Amino acid sequence: MQAETALQEGSNLKVREDIRNVAIIAHVDHGKTTLVDGLLKQSHIFRDNQQVGELIMDSNDQERERGITILAKNTAISYRGVKINIIDTPGHADFGGEVERVLTMADGCILLVDAAEGPMPQTRFVLQKALELNLQPIVVVNKIDRKDARIADVVDETQDLFLELATQDHHLNFPVLYAIGRAGVAMLNPEDEQKDLEPLFETILKTVPAPKVDVEAPLQMLVTALDYDDYKGKYAIGRIIRGKMTPASAVSRIDRDGNVTRQKINLVFTYKGLQKAETDAAMAGDIVAVTGIADANIGETIADADNPEALPSITITEPTLKMTFGVNTSPFAGREGKFSTSRQLRARLYRELETNVSLRVVDGSSPDEFVVSGRGELHLSVLIESLRREGYEFQVSRPEVITREDENGHIQEPFEHLTIDTKDTYIGVLTETLAIRKAQLSNMHNDGSGNVRIEYKIPTRGLIGFRNSFLTLTKGNGAMNSLLIGFEPWMGKINTARNGALIASEQGVAVTYGLNNAQQRGDTFIEPGTPVYEGMIVGLNTRPMDMAVNVCKEKQKTNIRSSTSDISVRLTPPILMSLEQSLDFINNDELVEVTPKTIRLRKRYLTQNERSRMRDSD
């Protein structure tokens, strides 16, 4: 185990039978957070009359709205006198950095697999990371009540995955349970009576090894997460690898570069249910949150004051996409946001680096621009949405892939494993679209009832903007997931050009008459009464070139036309795009303007003269 590798030779090992540390890992939407709900409720940490709802661990607004876990979180429950620390991890590949850093706190893992979908791309990723850390696995086949459940096949596929990824013999010796997370039941066999989650509790105690620790050795703790409280300040969260920790004690903080500074711990907290509980002492094996170390960062070591020894820092997979964040330069700048200066934006982005370990931020080519790199479009869009909700106003560019050179100087780009589940009637149109994006078909499985799973290897570039096309091509009857598999030689130009944009030719307020004229040339993105400015994108042209339209133009009033003629104007409902759809839509010469109230599309150069001049210079 990770804890054991950090122990010194000849140390006094003690087995802590009173504690288990386990992480729950799975592909997105396989039911991790719902299962944790059941574990929390059945451990009686809530009052009988307490209203707790569902998805208790997803406390972040965006997590509840998107229906995914974004941030890894800790909780603790008690079963038969044993404290079980549970770490709920994200399932989406874009938040793999969260998984990589928090798995170091666990001794075992519960791998959740959907009874219908089986192992998916992120299942492979999280399991590989868990086995690299030598965590003892427990497999739970979830959602066995689904009509399309194929339990036996899924168990076989999971065993094949273990055979492929296991690095030690004991990794293949794992128990398999069957569960309906939503109902709060788990069974050792699918045919068993459905009662509660007691079989899972028992399996955790039997399978997950108790920590073997040296309580008398000098203190070591790796900071794997940070939290903040308006009253107590910053919390440094991690697992104590060896030694003891008490409030008001002197410690050493060792940063990633090996620099040692003397600090003082203020308070020490352990977890009890969803709450942090203050304690007089914590020892090796405990997952704790400590205050008093205001400059602590993820990946640093909190060690004994007199014997500062650093633990190996956390290695996180590098980002694959980058975007340029800049100060809002539109004519509407400063109207809706509380924070709109480059100083405020820069401070906020660099502050995000403290907790978002997969993110990279560097200053851009001008003082008002910053290049932000992340693990995928969703990773970056969650950051954009967070800033927007906090009152920041800014503009962002189209996502670009991050390339690198091999030892021979050849450019390499990131590739992903793309998995699509859809109806077989859409195979042809999807294959044609993905071929243009340089995708290579690697596997296809048809279940015989019209459902098909198609797997591709595709450059990350080819996935930029594909999600919108995918939803249109499949009429919403499909799901797609991707996972980074590495870097390979550059595949050449990908021609995914869309039609031209309809661009507002003057500033004002959009009216029905002007929008009706615009809809004769394409699809519109705004409604009557929307303020617009010159250079703002108001629609999509039916032709390849951009076209300027005056959506503020009103109908001339004369005494000849019928007074009822305006009533007959009926507009087609506009296409209202989300933040992710907007990022997918824009070209390299376009930007997304983000404010707390509005998301607008615009040209990088607003006036027709500027755009013509830039085209000529190219």
Query: Is position 144 annotated in a ligand binding site?
Result: yes
- pLDDT score recorded for residue 3: 42
pLDDT at 53: 44
The pLDDT value recorded for residue 140 is 92
Check: CB of residue 27 under 8 Å from CB of residue 481: yes
Give the per-residue pLDDT at 51.
43
Question: How far is it, in rounded angstroms, from Cα 129 to Cα 272?
Answer: 27
Residue scoring higher pLDDT (373 or 616): 373
pLDDT of residue 565: 53
Residue 33 annotated as part of some ligand binding site = yes
Residue 341's pLDDT band (boundaries 50, 70, 90)? very high
Q: Would the annotation count 425 as a binding residue? A: no
Longest dimension (CA), the chain: 102
Check residue 94 and give its pLDDT.
56
pLDDT attached to residue 36: 80
Beta bridge partners of 416: 458, 484
pTM: 0.77
Annotated ligand binding at 153? The verdict is: no
- DSSP state for residue 368 in the 8-state scheme: T
Question: Is the per-residue pLDDT at 381 higher than 70?
Answer: yes
SS3 303: strand
Q: 193-197, 558-562, 612-616: lowest mean pLDDT where?
A: 558-562
Q: pLDDT tens digits, residue range 414-446?
A: 998 888 888 889 999 999 999 999 999 998 988
pLDDT digits (tens, 9 = 90+) for 489-526: 998 888 877 889 999 999 999 999 899 999 999 999 99
Q: What is the pLDDT of residue 159?
A: 92
Residues of the chain with pLDDT > 90, as a percent, come to 33
CA 588/CA 614 separation, integer angstroms: 13
**Domains with residue ranges and CATH for the chain:** 17-210 (3.40.50.300), 220-304 (2.40.30.10), 404-489 (3.30.70.240), 501-617 (2.40.50.250)
pLDDT tens for 148-180 read 888 999 999 999 999 988 888 888 889 999 998
pLDDT number for residue 447:
77
Residues in contact with 587: Cβ distance below 8 Å, sequence separation at least 6, in sequence order: 398, 497, 498
User: Is pLDDT above 60 for 564?
Assistant: no
On the question of pLDDT at 48 being above 50, the answer is no
pLDDT top residue among 93 and 545 = 545
C-alpha span between 616 and 618 (Å, rounded): 5
| pLDDT confidence of residue 558 | 60
- Please give the pLDDT value at position 148: 84
Range with lowest mean pLDDT among 63-77, 288-302, 564-578: 63-77
pLDDT, position 465: 79
Q: Is the pLDDT of residue 357 over 80?
A: no
* Residue range 31-52: mean pLDDT, rounded: 64
Which residue stretches of 43-95 are H helix?
A: 61-66
Which burial class, exposed, middle or buried, applies to 262 when counting CB atoms under 10 A from its CB (0-12, 13-18, 19+)?
Answer: exposed
> Is 31 marked as a binding-site residue?
yes
* 344 pLDDT higher than 60: yes
Question: Annotated binding residue at 566?
Answer: no
**44 pLDDT above the threshold of 80:** no
Tokens found for residue 164:
């492929």
Q: Report the distance separating Cα 216 and Cα 219, nearest Å.
A: 8
Lowest mean pLDDT among 72-81, 91-100, 297-306, 415-424: 91-100
Does the pLDDT of residue 57 top 50, yes or no?
no
Q: Which one has a higher pLDDT value, 356 or 399?
A: 399
Q: Tell whether residue 295 is among the known ligand binding residues.
A: no
> For 52-63, what is the mean pLDDT?
47
User: For all residues of the chain together, what is the average pLDDT?
Assistant: 84
Mean pLDDT, residues 35-60 taken together: 57
Contact 438, 492 (CB under 8 A): yes
Neighbour count for residue 312 (Cβ, 10 Å): 12
> Residue 258: which of 222, 308, 307 has the closest Cα?
308
Predicted confidence band of residue 394 (pLDDT cuts 50, 70, 90):
very high
- pLDDT tens track for 570-596: 788 898 888 888 988 888 899 999 999
Task: Tell the residue number behind the tokens 């497999």, with chain if given.
Answer: 139
Calculate the dihedral angle through the C-alpha atoms of 237, 240, 245, 247, rounding to the nearest 10 degrees.
10
Is 452 within 8 Å of 424 (Cβ atoms)?
Answer: yes
Q: What phi, psi does 216 have (nearest 5°)?
A: -85, -10
